[in-house]
């Protein structure tokens, strides 16, 4: 792709990119507890008095506390922990291939999957990029959602036909940050640079990729184009839902209402401490004398004005509708967890709950997690097939890939163990291993069972002497 075509692509995708980034940034702000209530404080929760109220001579309303409630982060991490604390097990029908896939995904696969769930919840879609490093090893990493702008076909298949990736990078030559723009298709990637995000001085990065001689494998130069050789764009989308809508916008208004009521409540509590005394017919000279008399003598001077005298001291205070506000706060919080399909941690007070009660507690979260899992399954299958192609598995694009996802939740292990025990004689070993509450990895459990069976036999299916029977037979032969 030349500079002119790239610049046109950047301009055509600019507005959609800006709209996406704005939504993602708002979700990220709420995830970092920088709700809209804190915009005036630069995103920081603060308790303070409002200088503007003082300037307007409003002594009754000087408080302006702005503390945000971190519901969004709680709800996002709740789903990520429930769905992706334990990585799903992958089964392609061959134990050796399963082990190679597991090793390629690495020990940190569960953490990467957890991060994908968080990114997808905040952006509506998370992105993963894979490549082959200089040592020929398959690698993958998460890409920040605000860097990626996908380009899909207009037909019903919605195939990913191209991808734009834009991000800032430090340029050692100029000592400044520059913008790097990459254009990916199914055969190659072309890299460009510009001084800013407005594509000023857009030009190819001629030294971006090394070029090797295919016959001698020697470095012969550099280029702005690299033929990645995957036959498809090496980026995988992990969408949160069909519309790729961030979770925040299902309940953002409710969080804002909660923040408004809560901080208004705190402001009133601060303001109520500012008791204003109204003096009628004060007999002293000035307010300093009034404060001194009140401090020293616990009394003040008043003038008598004769009949109908109303001399005295009144208090000007603020009444707080406590019951109405508490009710509204509780109702709003309940609605937040309902619309977000989460679990209110303060609402579960049952001890020794049965399995059915626990399932009811997790029912809304399970619905949300199951939907996320459905979209992640396709994306994870694509990643596994990419690994299998790298492993040169002949049927990599057609073999059936089974995924077993494990939820992380409070559970009644005693009930589960009883069910497993009752069904053990009528159910396959694989199903029992998967349902066993004390088993972390069902595939390892089956291997351990096979190993135990070998230790109990002589290799030909005959049981080993575990009870000393051979010694008894030898003793009998001596007697005979």
Whether residue 470 is predicted with pLDDT greater than 80 in this model: the reply is no
Would you tell me how many other CB atoms lie within 10 Å of the CB of residue 471?
10
Average pLDDT over residues 188-214: 87
Q: Give pLDDT tens digits for 10-24.
A: 999 999 999 999 999
CA distances, 126 to each of 24, 118, 235, 277, 375 (Å): 11, 8, 10, 60, 11
29 has a pLDDT exceeding 80: yes
Cα gap 382→238, rounded to integer Å: 10
Mean pLDDT of all residues in 380-388: 96
pLDDT exceeds 90 at position 28 = yes
Q: Which residue has the higher pLDDT, 462 or 166?
A: 166
Q: Which residue has the tokens 């971006």?
A: 208
Residue 24 is predicted with a pLDDT of 96
Q: What is the pTM of this model?
A: 0.77
Confidence of residue 115 (pLDDT cuts 50, 70, 90): very high
Considering Cα of 362, then 367, then 369, then 370, what sign does the dihedral take? positive
Q: What is the pLDDT of residue 97?
A: 93
Indicate the domain borders of the chain. Answer: 1-33+68-246+340-411, 426-480
Confidence band for 427, pLDDT divided at 50, 70 and 90: confident
Per-residue model confidence (pLDDT) at position 53: 44
Q: What element of type H or E holds 45?
A: none
- Identify which of 249, 264, 336, 331 has the alpha carbon closest to the alpha carbon of residue 70: 336
pLDDT digits (tens, 9 = 90+) for 80-111: 999 998 889 999 988 899 999 999 999 999 99
Identify the weakest region by mean pLDDT among 38-52, 297-311, 387-401. 297-311
Give the per-residue pLDDT at 274.
55
Between vectors from CA 353 to CA 350 and to CA 354, what angle results, nearest 5°? Answer: 155
How do residues 324-341 score in pLDDT, each as one tens digit? 888 999 999 999 999 999
pLDDT at 359 over 60: yes
CA angle 214, 219, 225 (to 5 degrees): 80
Least-confidence region, from 120-129, 130-139, 463-472: 463-472
Has residue 477 got a pLDDT over 60? no
Q: What is the pLDDT of residue 447?
A: 84
* Least confident range of 1-10, 142-151, 189-198, 300-309: 300-309
Mean pLDDT to the nearest integer, 223-252: 93
pLDDT confidence tier of residue 434, bands split at 50, 70 and 90: confident
Q: Which DSSP category does 302 fall into?
A: B
Closest by CA position to 219, among listed 209, 229, 204, 234:
209
CA 128 to chain CA centroid, nearest Å? 15
First to last CA, the chain: 95
pLDDT of residue 474: 47
Smallest Cα–Cα separation from 194: which of 214, 177, 211, 215? 177
Q: Kindly state the average pLDDT of the residues 295-312.
A: 61
Of 83, 61, 91, 76, nearest in space to 29 by CA: 76
Residues in contact with 247: Cβ distance below 8 Å, sequence separation at least 6, in sequence order: 27, 72, 75, 76, 121, 122, 240, 340
Q: In this predicted model, what pLDDT tens digit does every residue of 452-461 receive, in sequence order?
A: 887 776 555 5
Q: Is the pLDDT of residue 146 over 90?
A: yes
Q: Of 109-118, 148-157, 201-210, 289-298, which one has max mean pLDDT?
A: 109-118
C-alpha span between 142 and 383 (Å, rounded)? 12
Q: Does residue 424 or residue 297 have the better pLDDT?
A: 424
pLDDT for residue 251: 96
pLDDT of residue 216: 75
Supply the mean pLDDT for the chain.
Answer: 83
Rounded to an integer, what distance in angstroms lies between the CA atom of residue 337 and that of residue 395?
Answer: 45
Residue with tokens 């953490």: 111
Looking at residue 480, its pLDDT comes to: 42
Residues in CB range of 3: below 8 A, 6 or more apart:
192, 202, 203, 204
């Amino acid at each position: 792709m030349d500079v002119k075509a790239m610049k046109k692509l950047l301009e055509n995708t600019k507005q959609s990119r800006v709209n996406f980034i704005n939504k993602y940034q708002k979700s990220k702000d709420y995830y970092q507890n920088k709700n809209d209530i804190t915009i005036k404080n630069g995103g920081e929760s603060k308790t303070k008095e409002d200088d503007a109220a003082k300037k307007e001579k409003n002594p009754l309303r000087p408080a302006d506390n702005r503390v945000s409630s971190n519901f969004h982060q709680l709800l996002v991490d709740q789903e990520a922990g429930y769905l992706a604390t334990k990585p799903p097990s992958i089964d392609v029908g061959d134990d050796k291939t399963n082990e190679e896939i597991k090793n390629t995904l690495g020990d940190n696969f569960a953490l990467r999957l957890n991060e994908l769930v968080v990114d997808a919840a905040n952006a509506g879609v998370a992105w993963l990029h894979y490549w082959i490093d200089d040592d020929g090893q398959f690698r993958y990493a998460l890409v920040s959602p605000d860097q990626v702008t996908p380009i899909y076909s207009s037909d019903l298949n919605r195939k990913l036909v191209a991808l734009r990736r834009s991000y800032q990078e430090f340029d050692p030559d100029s000592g400044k940050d520059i913008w790097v723009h990459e254009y990916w298709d199914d055969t190659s990637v072309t890299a460009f640079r510009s001084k800013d995000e407005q594509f000023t001085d857009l030009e190819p990065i001629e030294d971006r990729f090394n070029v090797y001689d295919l016959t001698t494998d020697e470095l012969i130069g550099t280029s702005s184009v690299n033929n990645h050789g995957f036959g498809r764009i090496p980026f995988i989308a992990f969408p949160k839902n069909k519309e790729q809508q961030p979770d925040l916008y299902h309940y953002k208004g409710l969080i804002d209402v909660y923040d408004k009521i809560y901080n208004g409540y705190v402001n009133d509590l601060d303001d109520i401490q500012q008791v204003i005394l109204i003096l009628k017919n004060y007999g002293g000279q000035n307010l300093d004398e009034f404060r001194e008399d009140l401090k020293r003598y616990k009394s003040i001077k008043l003038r008598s004005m004769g009949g109908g005298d109303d001399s005295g001291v009144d208090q000007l205070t603020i009444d707080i509708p406590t019951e109405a506000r508490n009710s509204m706060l509780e109702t709003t919080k309940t609605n937040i967890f309902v619309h977000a399909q989460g679990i209110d941690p303060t609402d579960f007070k049952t001890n020794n709950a049965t399995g059915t009660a626990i399932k009811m507690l997790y029912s809304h979260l399970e619905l949300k997690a199951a939907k996320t899992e459905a979209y992640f399954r396709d994306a994870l299958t694509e990643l596994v097939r990419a690994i299998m192609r790298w492993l040169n598995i002949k049927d990599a694009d057609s073999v059936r890939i089974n995924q077993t996802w494990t939820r992380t939740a409070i559970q009644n292990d005693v009930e589960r163990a009883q069910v497993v025990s009752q069904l053990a004689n009528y159910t396959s070993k694989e199903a029992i291993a998967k349902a066993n509450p004390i088993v972390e990895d069902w595939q390892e459990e089956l291997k351990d069972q096979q190993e135990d069976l070998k230790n109990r036999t002589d290799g030909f299916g005959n049981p080993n002497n575990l009870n000393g029977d051979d010694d008894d037979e030898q003793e009998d032969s001596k007697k005979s």
